[in-house]
Chain A
Amino acid sequence: MARKMFPSVPSAENAAFWAAAEAGTLMVPKCKSCGKSHWYPRALCPHCFSDDIELIPSKGTGTIYSWSHMPRAPEPFTIAYVTLAEGVTVLTNIVDCDPTTLKIGQSVKLAWQKVEGGPQVWVYTPA
Chain B
Amino acid sequence: MSIKGKAYIVGAYEHPTRKAPDKSVAQLHAECAVGALKDAGLTKDDIDGYICAGDAPGMGPINMIDYMNLTKIRFMDSTDVGGSSYLLHVGHAAQAIALGRASVVLITLAGRPRSEGQATGTAPRAGNPLVPDTQFEQQYAAVTGNGYAMVAARHMYEYGTTSEQLAWIKVAASHHAQYNEHAMLRDVVTVEDVVNSPMVATPLHRLDCCVISDGGGALIVTSPEIAKSLKRPLVKVIGAGESPKGQLGGMVDLTYSGAVRSGAAAWAESGVKPSDIKYASIYDSFTITVLMQLEDLGFCARGQGGKFVSDGNLISGVGKLPFNTDGGGLCNNHPANRGGITKVIEAVRQLRGEAHPKVQVPNCDIALAHGTGGMLGTRHGSATLIMERE
Contacts and interface: CB of A to CB of B under 8 A. Distances in A.
Interface string A23-50: 0000000000000111111100111000
B252 A46 contact: no
Nearest to B133: A40
A46 B141 CA distance: 24
B226 interface: no
B250 A73 contact: no
Contacts of A10: 135
A108 interface: no
B118 to A, nearest CB: 16
Interface string A79-118: 1110100011111110000010000110000000001001
A68 B252 contact: no
B141 A79 contact: yes
Contacts, number: 121
B109 interface: no
A99 to B, nearest CB: 7
Contacts of B247: 39-40, 89
Interface string B184-218: 00000000000000111111100000000000000
B139 A8 contact: yes
B139 A121 contact: yes
Given A72-B198, A72-B200, A81-B150, A91 B250 contact: no
A39 B247 CA distance: 8
A66 interface: yes
A49 to B, nearest CB: 11
A83 B256 CA distance: 18
B137 A9 contact: no
Give the interface size bracket for B toward A.
35 or more
Interface string B140-175: 111101110111011001000000000000000000
Q: Which of B132, B141, B147, B151 has most A Cβ within 10 Å?
A: B141
Chain A interface mostly: loop
A68 B202 CA distance: 5
Contacts of B129: 9, 11
A89 B250 contact: yes
Given A8-B136, A79-B140, A89 B251 contact: yes
Interface in B311-348: none
B139 A6 contact: yes
Interface string A51-66: 0000000000000011
Interface stretch (B12-20, B22-30, B120-128): B120-128
B127 A6 contact: yes
B154 A65 contact: yes
Contacts of B142: 79, 91
Interface string B356-386: 0000000000000000000001100000000
Contact of B199 (A38, A65, A72, A104): A72
B151 A91 contact: no
Contact of B252 (A9, A70, A89): A89
Q: Which of B133, B247, B250 has most A Cβ within 10 Å?
A: B250
A6 B153 contact: no
Contacts of A71: 199, 202
B100 interface: no
Contact of A68 (B135, B146, B249): B146
B138 interface: yes
A42 B135 CA distance: 12
A70 B149 CA distance: 10
B292 to A, nearest CB: 13
Interface string B224-266: 0000000000000000000000010111101000000000000
Interface of A: 3, 5-11, 14, 36-42, 45-47, 65-73, 77, 79-81, 83, 87-93, 99, 104-105, 115, 118, 121
